[in-house]
A and B are shown apart, each in its own frame.
Chain A
């Protein structure tokens, strides 16, 4: 087996283990044997399993695990792609105003929308906000800041993010009753996840990840530098647009169902690079696999560490992710030395 095949197999194995662990472990005790039989029989409750337990597995845990996987995969793959096209190791999926735009969208929906429709309006508004945020950043970077270079896009993103955050804060301050709703969304939320969220996120995530997958070889080229890539016959500007659109689509879908979950888009791609080298032919698929596993496991911690209470998932991604990242960094550093 090649090194690449080994890494992919490991990623798949970890994902399977994570999904099963996510299903078996939770604040409510369900016998693992029964839960496994439930899973193998595709949701048919085995003898001895109460209806309530079957409902917990099928309506609460399984959609939550799947949405966590979709969100983790989206954020990690987008982060990896952004790091390539912006040649910036600190680039994350929220770099170009996606988070600020989504935050503004969600706040508008909470402040001015009908309260009994938040479950629908908040994700939709966040999705639109994220796309608008990135669109503005891109338009500004291109029209006013001289071209489609990485720097002009990043500067455009910073300007747009600051502006949208100011608008969001203003609306929130004028509508104090929105505080709790908006903040619980900003901290990331999988606690209310159901199948609806999975259905909302899946199409965009699938399309976006497929596009990023297709261009993964070109990401290696663009990382060399704009001039070098152009001299190899690559249309750098167009590739950057394609990647930004795909990554933003995935990010917007993730943000719309799960709120803002920081750190995943940076930590996972870098850990993958430490494990498997820096070629995007491996970094991209592995980021999808490990990103999905990472968020499933983090969510597992979020809902069991202080059970039956929950910890906001955005807090855990940083709390669990940062030390893990440091360990990986030290290991590799030692090996290289």
Chain B
């Protein structure tokens, strides 16, 4: 029993870590001229020529690659990469990568986000260049990773365009929000056992951008940015908004939340402030964060409108 429990904790921590926060900040990576010139060296990894058989083991990297127009250079993506739908899905696993299975696609570049064991070294041993792009801890990481993929795949100028567009859209979204007269509070739900995020996480920072106040910040010390909250605390904190990032994993919805004991007294439940998110968008750090932020901003605008009325 005890062994299982310890293994369980380790796995949960791993899983949580893969969402951000504990990942080290990105080292810059050289960014040569915008034109596609090879070979390029990024973080000590040399890519000899424009890659044409990319394997992505990271759903976020897959989204980035397709966003910067490198989609037709992608040979295979892992089993969690479900966006965009024309990404060449395989049963490769990013959690438990099988080096031989990866090598069988004869990749000329592998992109991955978590380092279970020593994937990079194993691939290097086979002469396959591999880039690690860990979970973003802030928006700048996102921009940096998109730029890096642009350089690595010979799509640097498209990548720059994507980043610029993202910056502009995020500015316009945050600029459209009027600072609320009294703070609007929220609870972001990762699963139906009330795991949440604090403002120090990547996701938490997105909410801060539109001026929301996080009820989980009182639990800052616990869970490395991903605390499991007590139900009674959530009821008492009485958040104005509840964001459900467990609609796919755990089938949660406005209806299931309203049925939880005691939750019918929460302002968000009473006033239609329970927002269903797409689990995938809310756990990745790709170009779709703009979409995510727009959804959050829309919810805030609704609350402010109701307050004004």
Mask, B21-47, CB within 8 Å of A = 1, is 000000000000000000000000000
Asked if B227 contacts A180 (CB within 8 A), the reply is: no
A314 within 8 A of B: yes
Nearest CB of chain B from residue A318's CB, rounded to whole Å = 6
Asked if B262 contacts A56 (CB within 8 A), the reply is: yes
Given A180-B15, A306-B222, A309-B222, CB of A115 within 8 Å of CB of B251? yes
Asked if B1 contacts A99 (CB within 8 A), the reply is: yes
Which of B62-70, B124-132, B139-147, B190-198 makes up part of the contact surface? B190-198
Among B11, B193, B219, the residue within 8 A (CB) of A308 is B219
- The winner among A186, A308, A315 for most chain B CB atoms within 10 A is A308
Chain B, range 204-218, C-beta contacts under 8 Å to A: 216, 218
Asked if A309 contacts B227 (CB within 8 A), the reply is: yes
- The winner among A115, A117, A194, A312 for most chain B CB atoms within 10 A is A115
Asked if B1 contacts A184 (CB within 8 A), the reply is: no
Nearest CB of chain B from residue A244's CB, rounded to whole Å = 18
Asked if B265 contacts A51 (CB within 8 A), the reply is: yes
B153 within 8 A of A: no
Asked if B251 contacts A195 (CB within 8 A), the reply is: no
Asked if B261 contacts A59 (CB within 8 A), the reply is: yes
Nearest CB of chain B from residue A329's CB, rounded to whole Å = 18
List of A residues within 8 angstroms of B262 by Cβ: 52, 55-56, 59-60
Mask, A76-111, CB within 8 Å of B = 1, is 000000000000000010100001000100000000
Asked if A118 contacts B192 (CB within 8 A), the reply is: yes
Asked if A52 contacts B222 (CB within 8 A), the reply is: no
Rounded to whole angstroms, the CA-CA distance of A184 and B1 in the bound complex is 14
Pick 27 A–B contacts, CB within 8 A, sort by A. A28-B233, A52-B262, A52-B265, A55-B235, A56-B232, A60-B232, A60-B235, A99-B1, A114-B251, A118-B192, A119-B192, A176-B95, A179-B11, A180-B190, A183-B9, A184-B12, A184-B193, A191-B230, A192-B194, A260-B1, A260-B5, A262-B1, A306-B227, A309-B222, A309-B230, A312-B9, A318-B2
